[in-house]
């Protein structure tokens, strides 16, 4: 029986982390050998080593394959490589830590270099660029480390841990114990290289599809056929479309443009968009009627390269390509399921191994935001400000931000004159960082460890994994310079890079490099992004403006929380229907999007069955990533609440450094170290409630 979208959402809400053992059962044939190995180790090293010997031998046996050797070879390996607590164990730990830093760091650098032609705006792409971007330099790493027995040394001597163990006992662990847990858990899966390569190919293919999915807005017409957008405005889906929609709140005549963008988004989601209009400046398209025709010659931008000639300018829709890419990614990562016994689905791996926040708790926090009574009050305030009833696209209302009082053209002029190239942005980094609250010395250090590249897409941050390498900030810079949207995104990505640099160079163990999960680095990025006007030398928000910004933050979290539920629900549906065709996934995703809308948004907007929550490109190319955004909003609100309480004279930069060098502890433990409280939605909701009281 085919499960409905509502059933998927209900099951999602009940999801809880299953109690799985950290140590999978060893193969039956190896159990006698494992027992003999433990007995021999205890006899050799003493009874005090029995718990470590039993756990380590069981861990190694669980991943041992016939190709690794027979039972005698396993016993001999355990006898040779088990290390009792002491100097030899400490030295081996240090060797492995340094070696994995080198392996991870250089593999990342190779992949970054080979993908540069697909990701950076350095001229036209060549057919080979897609193949280079799909190459994964670390695809064979786990295989090689198991085949070379290095992985078994780690499993024999350091403990695999479950999410339950890390959450319940982690607060009492030493930094070394946390580093040991991270060391062992990198071998909790033995995924063959061929599977990893398949994942890399599917991911690179989806990345290319999204990076080149643009609409030439001068040729996207209003319902009455008018051209509402200037020539040359090319918007990437979904990022630039959404940001353009937001920017129109500052324009007195922006409503018509917003309706055009919203209709275009709907066509993309439903895959009723004509294939001919994607990334082609020679085709006019009315998204309301779905009519397509060749653009008049005089409207085609000089230097544009039309892809569809008049004969091809048909209304034939895109053939579910969006959903085919999602399914290709799903099937690629699902192929790794049999090799991850402690987290046997991609969903489990995202929540239990990567986020380390149980899915049920994430869903509960999202629903806490979606159901907050303050949302309805904010909606009425938005209607008052707009002077009209809400329309579905007002889920992206941006009028609470002070910058909306300035025209987009003014902000564009300011950023373009200051940053005509990516190099200009890079040169200004020390000054930018000082304006963000870092000392001159620390700003120079950070700028020296961050490279700036011109992005082909909207921009992103890429970490370094080895001390001596640089984090990379990819930002989109047009031929006439960096517009304000690009600058705003660049400051966000700079937040990622600062976190990535501190959490690599500042941690005491490089095995703890990073932050607990992606949501935490998103939160740091949001903290930076909120201060972009100060970087431009414009007045920072007043106390009243900051209170109003709290309304913006809750409204933004409200929007993305629903998107995250659609993303989670889509993955549950795919696991329930692993053989689905792209058209079936399309219909299921649209049902999920409408169900989420009807439950959490229709009571506020007064409109039902809206599919727009499924527009995010992350669903195609960043697998099950979207929950990190609302969690990031929650964490950002907690950090902002904490930063507001800093004593006079305390630098924001110093506090950001203190917070980020904690490394990859469990999320609640990290947050307690940062702010004194576990991760919670309440600071975000409280801030909005206070703002409403003063509005």
The pLDDT tens digits for 57-75 are 999 999 999 999 999 999 9
Q: Is the pLDDT at 160 greater than 70, yes or no? A: yes
**Vertex 571, ends 566 and 577: CA angle to 5°?**
120
368: enclosing H helix or E strand? helix 359-370
**Vertex 650, ends 513 and 693: CA angle to 5°?**
100
Q: What is the pLDDT of residue 122?
A: 84
Q: Which two tokens stand for residue 134?
A: 């799909």
Distance CA 345, CA 347 (A): 5
- Rounded to an integer, the average pLDDT of 151-174 is 94
Distance CA 407, CA 349 (A): 44
Q: What is the pLDDT of residue 586?
A: 98
pTM: 0.83
Q: Is the pLDDT at 14 greater than 60, yes or no? A: no
pLDDT digits (tens, 9 = 90+) for 110-144: 999 999 888 888 888 888 988 898 888 888 898 89
Nearest Cα residue to 382 out of 195, 176, 556, 635: 556
pLDDT digits (tens, 9 = 90+) for 72-118: 999 999 999 999 999 999 999 999 999 999 999 999 999 999 998 88
Q: What is the percentage of the chain residues whose pLDDT exceeds 70?
A: 94
Nearest Cα residue to 277 out of 218, 231, 355: 218
Q: Is the pLDDT at 457 greater than 90, yes or no? A: no
**Vertex 393, ends 388 and 399: CA angle to 5°?**
65
pLDDT band at 303 (very low <50, low <70, confident <90, very high): low
CB 568 within 8 A of CB 12: yes
Q: Which two tokens stand for residue 645?
A: 């309480």
Q: What is the pLDDT of residue 503?
A: 97
Output DSSP code: residue 427: H
Distance CA 249, CA 244 (A): 9
pLDDT digits (tens, 9 = 90+) for 622-635: 999 999 999 989 99
pLDDT digits (tens, 9 = 90+) for 464-501: 999 999 999 998 888 899 999 899 999 999 999 999 99
Coil, helix or strand at residue 26: coil
Q: What is the pLDDT of residue 310?
A: 45
Distance CA 594, CA 609 (A): 5
Q: What is the pLDDT of residue 162?
A: 87
Q: What is the pLDDT of residue 2?
A: 41
Q: Which two tokens stand for residue 532?
A: 């972009």
Which of the residue ranges 61-65, 306-310, 534-538 would you say has the lowest mean pLDDT? Answer: 306-310
Distance CA 235, CA 238 (A): 8
- Alpha-helical regions (H) of 115-228: 116-119, 127-134, 141-147, 150-157, 163-169, 175-185, 193-211
């Amino acid at each position: 029986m085919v499960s409905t979208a509502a059933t998927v959402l209900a099951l999602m809400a009940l999801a809880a982390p299953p109690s799985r053992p950290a140590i999978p059962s060893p193969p039956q044939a190896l159990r006698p050998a494992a027992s003999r190995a433990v007995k021999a180790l205890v006899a050799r090293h003493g009874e005090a080593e029995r718990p470590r010997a039993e756990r380590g031998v069981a861990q190694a046996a669980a991943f041992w394959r016939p190709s690794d050797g027979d039972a005698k070879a396993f016993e001999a390996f355990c006898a040779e490589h088990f290390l009792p607590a002491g100097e030899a164990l400490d030295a081996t730990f240090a060797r492995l830590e340094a070696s994995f830093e080198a392996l991870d760091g250089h593999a990342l650098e190779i992949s970054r270099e080979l993908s540069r032609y697909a990701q950076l705006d350095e001229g036209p792409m060549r057919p080979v660029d897609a193949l280079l971007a799909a190459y994964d330099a670390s695809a064979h790493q786990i295989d090689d480390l198991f085949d070379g027995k290095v992985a078994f040394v780690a499993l024999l001597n350091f403990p695999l841990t479950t999410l339950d163990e890390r959450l319940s006992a982690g607060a009492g662990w030493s930094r070394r114990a946390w580093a040991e847990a991270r060391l062992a858990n990198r071998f909790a899966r033995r995924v063959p290289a061929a599977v990893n390569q398949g994942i890399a190919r599917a991911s690179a293919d989806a990345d290319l599809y999204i990076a080149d999915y643009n609409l030439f807005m001068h040729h996207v017409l209003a319902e009455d056929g008018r051209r509402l957008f200037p020539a040359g405005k090319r918007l990437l889906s979904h990022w630039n479309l959404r940001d353009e929609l937001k920017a129109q709140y500052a324009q007195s005549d922006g409503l018509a443009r917003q309706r055009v963008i919203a209709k275009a988004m709907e066509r993309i989601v439903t895959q009723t968009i004509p294939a001919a209009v994607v990334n082609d400046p020679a085709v006019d398209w009315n998204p309301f009627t779905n009519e397509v025709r060749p653009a008049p010659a005089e409207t085609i931008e000089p230097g544009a390269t039309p892809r569809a000639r008049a004969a091809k300018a048909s209304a034939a829709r895109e053939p579910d390509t969006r959903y085919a890419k999602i399914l290709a990614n799903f099937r690629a990562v699902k192929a790794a399921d049999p090799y991850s016994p402690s987290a046997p689905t991609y969903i489990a791996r995202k929540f239990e191994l990567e986020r380390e926040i149980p899915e049920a708790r994430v869903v509960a926090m999202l629903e806490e935001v979606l159901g907050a009574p303050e949302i309805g009050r904010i909606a009425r305030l938005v209607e008052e400000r707009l002077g009209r009833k809400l329309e579905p696209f007002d889920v992206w209302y941006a009028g609470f931000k002070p910058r909306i009082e300035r025209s987009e053209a003014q902000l564009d002029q300011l950023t373009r004159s200051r940053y005509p190239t990516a190099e200009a942005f890079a040169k200004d980094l020390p000054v930018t960082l000082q304006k963000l609250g870092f000392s001159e010395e620390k700003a120079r250090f950070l700028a020296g460890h961050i490279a700036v590249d011109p992005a082909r897409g909207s921009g992103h941050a890429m970490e370094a994994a080895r001390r001596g390498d640089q984090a990379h900030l990819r930002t989109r810079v047009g031929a006439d310079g960096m517009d304000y949207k690009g600058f705003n995104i660049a400051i966000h990505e700079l937040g990622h890079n600062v976190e990535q640099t501190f959490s690599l160079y500042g941690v005491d163990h490089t095995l703890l490099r990073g932050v607990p999960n992606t949501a935490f680095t998103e939160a740091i990025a949001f903290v930076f992004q909120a201060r972009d006007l100060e970087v431009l030398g414009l007045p920072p928000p007043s106390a009243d403006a900051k209170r109003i910004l709290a309304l913006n933050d809750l409204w933004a979290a409200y929007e993305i929380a629903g998107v995250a539920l659609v993303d989670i629900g889509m993955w549950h549906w795919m696991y329930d229907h692993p053989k689905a065709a792209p058209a079936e996934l399309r219909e299921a995703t649209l049902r999920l999007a409408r169900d989420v809308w009807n439950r959490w948004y229709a009571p506020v907007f007064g409109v039902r069955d809206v599919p727009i929550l499924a527009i995010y490109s992350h669903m195609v190319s960043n697998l099950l990533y979207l929950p990190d955004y609302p969690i990031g909003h929650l964490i950002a609100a907690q950090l902002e609440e904490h930063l507001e309480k800093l004593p006079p004279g305390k630098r924001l930069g110093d506090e950001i450094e203190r917070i980020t060098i904690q490394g990859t502890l469990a999320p609640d433990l990290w947050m307690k170290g940062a702010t004194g409280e576990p991760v919670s939605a309440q600071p975000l909701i409280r801030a909005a409630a206070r703002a409403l009281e003063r509005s």
